[in-house]
Amino acid sequence: MSVTTKPVNQKAWFLILPVFICVAFSAILPLMTVVNYSVQDIISPERRVFVGTEWFAAVMRDEDLHAALWNQLKFSGAVLLVEIPLGIALALSMPAAGWKASATLVIVALSLLIPWNVVGTIWQIFGRADIGLMGATLQRLGIEYSYTGDALHAWLTVLLMDIWHWTPLVALLAYAGLRSIPDAYYHAARIDGASKFAVFRYIQLPKMRGVLMIAVLLRFMDSFMIYTEPFVLTGGGPGNATTFLSQYLTQKAVGQFDLGPAAAFSLIYFLIILLFCFVLYNWMQRLGQTEKEGGHD
């Protein structure tokens, strides 16, 4: 066998130029503006001072930010803990074929079609103690429910709203994973005398691993960046009970016009998300790897 050495052709660089320009305008340049802001103190459009990493240090020590981050982590954790199992359960109970399957799919997907701010408005009305179906019902049951007054109620309402809005996405993904399992597996399980739980544990769950990984990543990222719904529903209150990271950021950047700290925080926020996704992705890949130890097919 002879190794052919290709002639060096630098013209190829021109071919990636369009992509490079697109990426530059869509990602690199905006990101660099943020980086630029994060190292300056912008006193007025004409007067700016280079401050180095001062904003980063200040932001890292900010108590409010710590509270928002902790709130955010609890919220995203709760979202994953509830939505993933619930989505799987939903997918398992959906019919497999026929018009019922199509009808169920459409109904399940409905909430995904509603814009975020409308979802917030729906729940704002839904939770009202005087006219809202949920609020009024809870009142009648003797529970002093108020998402505007009680911090825990507000937090739970936002969580419930997210579950209502996004569990269908997990369900649809899980459903797609379930449908891709060949019948032979179910037949073999019946022949082997496997219980329903064993079928779930040893066939359905391992075969859904790929789509569930996507579901976990999507739900984590989306919930970590949640903004519109709590903004419409509670405005971040009461107090800071439902102030999540992005809302905190908006308050800084738009509300107080602290561009420097806001930019520094944006970058930290970005790195946090990147880090979490990296860890989650690698962890789930590893999980798959041990299952396919020495895999070669």
Partner 1 sequence: MSRIDLDLAHSYKPNPQEDGDYALLPLKMSFEDGGAYALLGPSGCGKTTMLNIMSGLLVPSHGSVKFDGQDMTRATPQQRNIAQVFQFPVIYDTMTVAENLAFPLKNRKVPAHQIQARVGQIAEMLEMSHQLDMRAAGLSADQKQKISLGRGLVRPDVSAVLFDEPLTVIDPHLKWQLRRKLKQIHHELKLTLIYVTHDQVEALTFADQVVVMTRGKVVQMGTPEALFERPAHTFVGHFIGSPGMNFLPANVAEGALSVGGLGLSADRELPAGEIKLGIRPEYLRLVPVGAIGALPATVRQVQDIGTYLLVTCDVAGQTLKARLAPDATPPAVGDRVGLQVLGEHTCYYKNEELMA
**Binding residue for partner 1 (CB under 8 A) from 66, 74, 179, 187?**
187
9: its two tokens? 């052709």
Using rule CB under 8 A, residue 207 touches partner 1 = yes
**Binding residue for partner 1 (CB under 8 A) from 164, 185, 200, 276?**
185
> Buried b vs exposed e over 250-277: b needs ≥16 C-beta within 10 Å?
ebbbeeeebbbbbbbbbbbbeeeeeebe
C-alpha distances in Å from residue 93, one per residue of 30, 87, 169, 172? 45, 10, 15, 12
Residue closer to partner 1 by CB (options 48, 207) is 207
**Binding residue for partner 1 (CB under 8 A) from 16, 106, 198, 274?**
198
CB of 202 to partner 1, least distance (A): 4
Using rule CB under 8 A, residue 291 touches partner 1 = yes
3-class DSSP assignment, residue 95:
coil
**Binding residue for partner 1 (CB under 8 A) from 190, 196, 275, 286?**
190
**Binding residue for partner 1 (CB under 8 A) from 164, 202, 227, 276?**
202
Distance CA 233, CA 78 (A): 19
Residue closer to partner 1 by CB (options 161, 174) is 174
What is the chain's alpha carbon radius of gyration, rounded to the nearest angstrom? 25
Contact segment (CB under 8 A) with partner 1 among 22-30, 141-149, 186-194, 211-219 equals 186-194
Using rule CB under 8 A, residue 182 touches partner 1 = yes
Cβ count near 148 (within 10 Å): 16
Cβ–Cβ under 8 Å, residues 90 and 167 = yes
Q: How many residues bind partner 1 (CB under 8 A)?
A: 24
Contacts within 8 Å (CB) and 24+ apart, 252-258: none
CB of 172 to partner 1, least distance (A): 23
Cβ–Cβ under 8 Å, residues 253 and 80 = no
Using rule CB under 8 A, residue 188 touches partner 1 = yes
Element (H, E) at 90: helix 63-93
Using rule CB under 8 A, residue 255 touches partner 1 = no
**Binding residue for partner 1 (CB under 8 A) from 77, 95, 206, 239?**
206
Residue closer to partner 1 by CB (options 130, 183) is 183
CB of 285 to partner 1, least distance (A): 15
C-alpha distances in Å from residue 54, one per residue of 1, 246, 248, 254, 260? 60, 21, 19, 20, 9
Using rule CB under 8 A, residue 200 touches partner 1 = no
Residue closer to partner 1 by CB (options 130, 297) is 297
Residue 53 has, within 13 A of its CA and on its CB side, a CA count of 4
Residue closer to partner 1 by CB (options 10, 195) is 195
Residue written as token pair 């697109």 = 22
CB of 282 to partner 1, least distance (A): 19
Distance CA 38, CA 266 (A): 9
Residue closer to partner 1 by CB (options 131, 191) is 191
Contact segment (CB under 8 A) with partner 1 among 6-14, 135-143, 160-168, 177-185 equals 177-185
> Contact positions toward partner 1, by CB under 8 A?
182, 184-185, 187-188, 190-195, 198, 202-203, 206-207, 290-297
